[in-house]
Amino acid sequence: MTPDELKTLLSTPLALFVVMLLGSLGSALKQVKGTDTSLGSYFAHWPETLSALIANVLAFGMLVVTDSLNFASALGIGYVANSAADLIRAGGRSDIVGRTTRQAGFARPILLAILLVTAVIAMPVLQGCTALGLQAPKTFADDYAYALSQTTALRTAAAQALNTRQISVADAQYVLALTDQSRSLLDTSRQVYEAGESLKGQSQLELATNILTRLQAYLNARQVQ
Amino acid sequence: MSTTRNLNAAIGLLLNLTAAAGKASALIGTARAEGRDVTAEELAGLQAADDAARGDLVAAIEAAKAGS
**Does the interface predicted TM-score (ipTM) exceed 0.90?**
no
The answer to whether B54 and A172 are in contact (CB under 8 A) is: no
The answer to whether A56 and A21 are in contact (CB under 8 A) is: yes
- For residue A189, give how far its alpha carbon lies from the nearest alpha carbon of chain B (Å): 14
Please spell the DSSP secondary structure of A32-74, one letter per residue: HTTSS--HHHHHT-HHHHHHHHHHHHHHHHHHHHTT--SHHHH
The answer to whether A111 and B4 are in contact (CB under 8 A) is: no
Number of structural domains in chain B: 1
- What local confidence, expressed as pLDDT, does residue A219 receive? 36
Q: pLDDT tens for residues B18-67?
A: 677 778 888 888 898 899 988 999 999 999 999 999 999 999 999 999 98
- Tell me the whole-structure pTM to 2 decimals: 0.53
Burial status of residue B45 (CB atoms within 10 A of its CB: 0-12, 13-18, 19 or more): middle
Q: pLDDT tens for residues B2-26?
A: 555 555 665 666 666 667 777 888 8
Q: Cβ of A149 and B12 within 8 Å?
A: no
- What local confidence, expressed as pLDDT, does residue B21 receive? 76
Nearest to A155 among B14, B21, B54 (CB): B54
Q: Cβ of A169 and B57 within 8 Å?
A: no
Which residues of chain A neighbour B41 with C-beta distances below 8 Å? Answer: none
- Round to whole Å and give the CA distance between A157 and B46: 17
Parent domain of B17: 3-67
The answer to whether A193 and A207 are in contact (CB under 8 A) is: no
Phi and psi, residue A102, nearest 5°: -110, 140
pLDDT along chain A (225 residues), means of 10: 70 83 83 76 83 83 72 76 71 62 47 58 53 72 86 85 82 85 84 74 67 47 36
Q: Cβ of B57 and A150 within 8 Å?
A: no
Q: Cβ of B50 and A148 within 8 Å?
A: yes
Q: Which residues between 90 and 129 in chain A have a beta carbon less than 8 angstroms from any beta carbon of chain B? A: 107-108, 110-111, 114-115, 118-119, 122-123, 126-127
- What local confidence, expressed as pLDDT, does residue A163 receive? 87
Distances from the Cα of A113 to the Cα of A26, A54, A64, B36, B50, angstroms: 16, 18, 23, 39, 23
